[in-house]
């Protein structure tokens, strides 16, 4: 149940950012630009997240190889991070396709709905990957990646609210 709540909460947050982006556009032209801006932001966020999770997954797997002893939980964590990174990569690709579509087109709406549905179904990946990332401790690459994501969100929301 917690996984479903996590996925739905993430989808609602992205949908609210979409509403904020579109409603802040005064004309239909600026609304289309705002929707593209959101798609670009999501592409960056999911791309950075997947890079961080792929890196952490590889680090966990390499530690297991270096230690030469079976640790089932670490292997499971590595696989979980790999799955979450794959999901995040797919989300980044969908978001990048969304940025190239006219936002009021049927294709644009289908792409946006597909993105939200995939986020909603990814609660398990998101929740477990975040738990594992925090448990593993943040290394420089993770800290930098998550800091960039935070800065991107602040800039996006500040820019939208200041228009």
> Per-domain residue ranges for the chain?
2-162
Better pLDDT: 119 or 27: 119
Tell me, rounded to whole angstroms, the distance of Cα 111 from its chain centroid: 15
**pLDDT of 39-56, one tens digit each?**
888 888 888 888 888 888
Better pLDDT: 148 or 139: 148
Say what the pLDDT of residue 22 is: 74
Compute the distance between CA of residue 96 and CA of residue 22 in angstroms, rounded to an integer. 17
Please say if the pLDDT value at position 68 is more than 70: no
Say what the pLDDT of residue 65 is: 65
């Amino acid at each position: 149940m917690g996984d479903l709540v996590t996925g739905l909460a993430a989808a609602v947050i992205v949908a609210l950012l979409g509403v904020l982006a579109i409603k802040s556009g005064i004309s239909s032209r600026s609304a289309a630009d705002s929707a593209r801006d959101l798609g670009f932001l999501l592409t960056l966020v999911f791309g950075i997240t997947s890079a961080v999770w792929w890196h952490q997954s590889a680090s966990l797997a390499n530690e297991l190889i270096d230690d030469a002893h079976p640790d089932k939980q670490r292997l499971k964590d590595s696989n979980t991070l790999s799955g979450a990174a794959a999901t995040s990569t797919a989300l980044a690709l969908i978001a990048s396709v969304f940025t190239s579509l006219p936002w009021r087109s049927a294709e644009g709406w289908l792409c946006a709905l597909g993105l939200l549905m995939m986020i909603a179904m990814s609660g398990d990946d998101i929740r477990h990957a975040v738990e594992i990332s925090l448990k593993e401790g943040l290394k420089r690459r993770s800290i930098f990646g998550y800091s960039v994501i935070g800065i991107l969100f602040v800039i996006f929301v500040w820019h939208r609210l200041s228009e």
